[in-house]
Chains A and B, each alone.
Chain A
Amino acid sequence: MKKGALVRTLASAVVLAAFSGTVYSQQEVKIGLLATLEGPFAAGGADGMRGAELAIKQRNGMAGGRKIVLIKASSDAKPDVAVNATRKLVEQDKVDIMVGPLSGGEGIAVKEYSKTQPNITFINGSSGAQATTLVNPSTNFFRFNTEGAQWMVGLGKAALDKGYKRVMVIAEDYAFPYSQVQGFMSEFCRIGGKVPLKAWVPLGGKDYSSVIARIPKDIDALLVVLGGADAVNFLNQYEAAGGDKPMIGGSITVSQDVLNYKGKRRDSLVGTISAGPHADAYDAPEWKAFVADYQKNYPVSSGAYPTPSLFALVYYINMKAALDGLDAVKGDLSGGQAKYRDTLAKMTLKTPVGDVKLDANRQAIGTAFITEVVKDAQGGLHNKVLRKVDGVDQMLGMKKEDFKVGSRDEPNCP
Chain B
Amino acid sequence: MNAGAGRLAMGKQGQTTFSASSGEASEKRGLSLFPPVRVATEPWQNPVRAHHLLVLVFLIAFPIFATPFLTYQIGAQSLAFGLIALSLTFLGGYGGMISLAQMTVAGIAGYMLAIFGMSGEAALSLGWSWWIAVPIAILIAVIAGTGIGWLSVRTEGIYTIMITLAIGVAFYSLCLQNYSVFNGFQGFQRVYAPTVLGINFREQTPFYYLVLACAFGGYFLVKYILRAPFGVALQGIRDNPRRMNALGFHVIAHRVAAYAVAAFIAAVGGVLLVWYNGLITPNSVGTSWVINILIIAVLGGMRHPIGPFIGAVVFVLLQTFAIDLFDRERFNLVIGSVFLAIVLFSPDGLLGLWAAWKRKFLKPRGGIK
Contact = CB atoms under 8 A, between A and B. Distances in A.
A14 B190 CA distance: 30
Contacts of B102: none
A88 B332 contact: no
Interface stretch (A2-10, A308-316, A351-359): A2-10
A91 interface: yes
A410 interface: no
Contact of B278 (A7, A37, A112): A112
Given A3-B55, A17-B321, A88-B320, A80 B279 contact: yes
Contacts, number: 119
Nearest to A77: B283
A163 B49 CA distance: 82
A98 B333 CA distance: 28
A15 B66 contact: yes
A175 B328 contact: no
Contacts of B74: 14
A266 interface: no
A136 interface: yes
B47 to A, nearest CB: 14
Contacts of B18: none
B279 A109 contact: yes
B69 A2 contact: no
Contact of B69 (A1, A72, A91): A91
Contacts of B70: 14-15, 18, 92
Given A79-B281, A174-B184, A18 B55 contact: no
Contacts of B179: 173, 408
A42 interface: yes
B176 A202 contact: yes
Nearest to B59: A7
Main secondary structure of the interface of B (DSSP, over half): helix
Contact of B320 (A11, A84, A108): A84
A38 B331 CA distance: 9
B329 A173 contact: no
Contact of A112 (B66, B189, B321): B189
Interface string B313-356: 10001011101100011011000000000000000000000100
B246 interface: no
A74 interface: yes
A91 B54 contact: no
B60 to A, nearest CB: 13
A18 B277 contact: no
B325 to A, nearest CB: 10
B54 A74 contact: no
Interface string B64-107: 01111110111001000000000000000000000000000000
A348 B245 CA distance: 78
Contact of B332 (A21, A38, A204, A408): A38
A4 B55 contact: yes
Nearest to B202: A116
A341 to B, nearest CB: 23
A353 B324 CA distance: 35
Contacts of B58: 4, 7-8, 11
B277 A88 contact: no
Contacts of B73: 84, 87-88, 91-92
A73 B323 contact: yes
Nearest to B321: A17
A17 B324 CA distance: 10
A80 B323 CA distance: 17
A408 B187 CA distance: 15
A78 interface: yes
Nearest to B77: A84
A38 B333 CA distance: 12
B51 A83 contact: no
Contacts of A366: none
B362 interface: yes
Contact of A105 (B49, B55, B281, B317): B281
A203 B279 contact: no
B185 A8 contact: no
A226 to B, nearest CB: 14
Given A7-B54, A88-B320, A136-B120, A80 B358 contact: no
A10 B329 CA distance: 25
B353 to A, nearest CB: 11
Contact of A88 (B54, B69, B279, B354): B69
A130 to B, nearest CB: 12
Interface string A146-182: 0000000000000000000000000001110000000
B185 A42 contact: no
A180 to B, nearest CB: 14
B48 interface: no
B185 A173 contact: yes
Contacts of A85: 323
A317 to B, nearest CB: 24
Contacts of B187: 79, 105
A203 B68 CA distance: 37
Contact of A79 (B54, B62, B68, B279): B279
Interface string B161-199: 000000000000100110100001111011000000000
B247 interface: no
B154 to A, nearest CB: 31
Nearest to A92: B69
Interface string A12-38: 001101100100000000000000011
Nearest to B67: A18
B284 interface: yes
9 contacts: A2-B51, A4-B50, A8-B54, A18-B66, A72-B323, A80-B284, A174-B184, A174-B185, A204-B176
Interface of B: 49-51, 54-55, 58, 62, 65-70, 72-74, 77, 120, 173, 176-177, 179, 184-187, 189-190, 277-279, 281, 283-284, 313, 317, 319-321, 323-324, 328-329, 331-332, 354, 358, 362
Given A3-B354, A83-B277, 6 more contacts: A21-B324, A42-B329, A78-B283, A109-B279, A136-B120, A173-B185
